[in-house]
Amino acid sequence: MSEVALSAGASPERRRVTGLGLLIVALAISLGAYAIAGLGLRARVPRDFVVYGLVFSGAFVAGWLVVRWTAPRTDPVLYPTATALAGLGIAMLYRIMLARGESTIAREQAIWLLVGLAAFCATLWFVRDDRQLNAYTYTIGLVGVVLLLLPVVPGIGREINGARLWAQIGPFTFQPAEFGKIFIVVFLASYLTDKQELLAAGAGRFGLPRAKDLGPLLLAWGASLAVLFLERDLGASLLFFGVFVVMLWIASGRAAYLWIGLVLFAAGASTGYLLFDHVQMRIDTWLNALDPDKVNGLGYFQLAQGWFALATGGIVGTGLGQGSPTLIPYVGSDFIFAAFGEELGMAGAVGLLLLYLILIARGLRVAMERLDTFGKLLATGLTTILALQTFAIVAGVTRLIPLTGVPLPLVSYGGSSRVATFVMLALLIRVSSGPMERAGG
């Protein structure tokens, strides 16, 4: 395992005990939140609490057993942290949908959670060594591009709320970009591993990269603009380009790529603003969300309500099930962080962010512990996706940046996002543990 080179930290036995203890805490938080949501809404524990508790706990314990069997040397914090986030997300979605009389949607999200766990276990089982993926560089890249562009294919793509993000194949409707970004990260990790020496070698004038070395960066910039233009998806465009720049920086070790990426991002953002009406609307909504003359518009209204919800929550919140987050139009997807801020207060919102910070920090630690370039880049890319998505939605809700519409990982409404995030988690756990056969022996 010389190339994988896991850190000589705790033994597998110690990791197993730590992981199990943290999982128990995560399950207690998840089930406690579900029970409190029912108490807050109807002054009683949900009638299906026992069934829900058994299914939820059984599913995540089964997932933990799969982790222990297939990846015993993995970081013990990753899986329990994801469990807590998923449990809090289901509890809040249950609270929101029940208040709106849409309990079937809450059950649907719980089913998607189980599907995500099944995909998580399948990924760990079939990807026994993350370096296997390095052998299919261009095939994986082609699949990623096809998934990104699938919504623009006539007869398959579907436009909802002004964005063409969905694809329908038979009875199934999903967001292919959620899975496409995983393939793109794997492709970039493999491609940049092959080109690492070329990217790091020799600098042009003033220490900047040579013109021919900027080709991949310019290609990614063009691809992100294509996603913005064809699918009207500001979030995916930002996410795709941001992940590429970070991975290019890690592969080359040259900060110049970050600065060039920043310049290209500014140029692309300016171009998007000048050419696309929906980008102009996002910026105008961001700047004038509290303008009394505009607040009746849907975009302005939901941003204003999000701010009011955060302000109402104060330090400790109104209590789970006691607030009015349903006043926000898309609270289950784009604005679920505002719901947490209102009902759990600043303390609860910070706690939620700390869970994401733990997940991101441990993912970066996994990247640092790997000595082979492919594993390091793969862990970096997967963690960067989680970090950028979390930042984009939280900063959008708090009006630090314009709202991009990306889901809050593991928490927001959305089956495609939930399943894709569990697949990313499985790959990160595989990178952390190393090959299945060698890790067990």
The per-residue pLDDT for range 384-425, each reduced to its tens digit, is 999 999 998 999 899 888 887 788 999 998 888 999 999 999
Q: What is the pLDDT of residues 299-316, one digit of tens each?
A: 677 888 888 999 999 999
Q: What is the pLDDT of residues 255-285, one digit of tens each?
A: 877 888 888 888 877 877 787 777 788 888 8
**152 or 390, which is more confident?**
390
Q: Which two tokens stand for residue 425?
A: 């988690």
Which residue would you say has higher pLDDT here, 235 or 69?
69
Q: Give me the sheet containing 172-174, strands edge to edge.
A: 157-160, 163-169, 172-174
**Spatial CB neighbours of 316, under 8 Å, sequence gap ≥ 6:** 344, 345, 346, 347, 348
Task: Look at residue 201 in the predicted model and tell me its pLDDT.
Answer: 64
Residue type, 243: V
Select, from the ranges 200-204, 267-271, 279-283, 348-352, the one with the highest average predicted confidence (pLDDT).
348-352
Token code pair at residue 406: 């990306």
Listed in sequence order, the residues at least 6 apart from 423 whose beta carbon sits closer than 8 Å to its beta carbon are: 116, 119, 120, 123, 179, 182
Give the separation between CA 383 and CA 361, rounded to whole angstroms.
Answer: 9
What mean pLDDT, rounded, does the chain reach? 84
> Is residue 309 within 8 Å of residue 339, measured between CB atoms?
yes
Instruction: State residue 441's pLDDT score.
Output: 37
Q: How far is CA 21 from CA 12, 25, 131, 182, 430, in A?
A: 14, 7, 31, 30, 21
**Whole-prediction pTM:** 0.89
Q: Residue 99 and residue 114: Cα distance in Å, rounded?
A: 23
pLDDT in tens, 163-190: 667 787 777 778 888 898 899 899 889 8
In the predicted structure, residue 2 carries a pLDDT above the cut 50: no
Whether the per-residue pLDDT at 357 is higher than 90: the answer is yes
pLDDT over threshold 50, residue 337 = yes
SS3 category, 105: helix
- pLDDT tens digits, 364-374: 999 998 888 89
Q: How far apart are CA 316 and CA 311, in angstroms?
A: 11
pLDDT at residue number 7: 44
Query: What local confidence, expressed as pLDDT, does residue 80 receive?
Result: 96
For residue 168, the cross-strand partners are 173
Other CB atoms within 10 A of residue 51 CB: 10
The average pLDDT across 134-154 equals 83
Q: What is the CA radius of gyration of the chain?
A: 22
Give pLDDT tens digits for 3-26.
Answer: 554 444 556 677 778 889 999 999
Cβ distance 335 to 415 under 8 Å? no
Confidence bin at 362 (pLDDT 50/70/90): very high
Residue 382 and residue 246 in contact, taking contact as beta carbons nearer than 8 Å: no
In the chain, the percentage of residues whose pLDDT exceeds 90 is 39
**Alpha-helical runs (H) found in 150-255:** 176-194, 196-200, 215-231, 234-252
d(CA 301, CA 113): 30
Band of residue 138 on the pLDDT scale cut at 50, 70, 90: confident
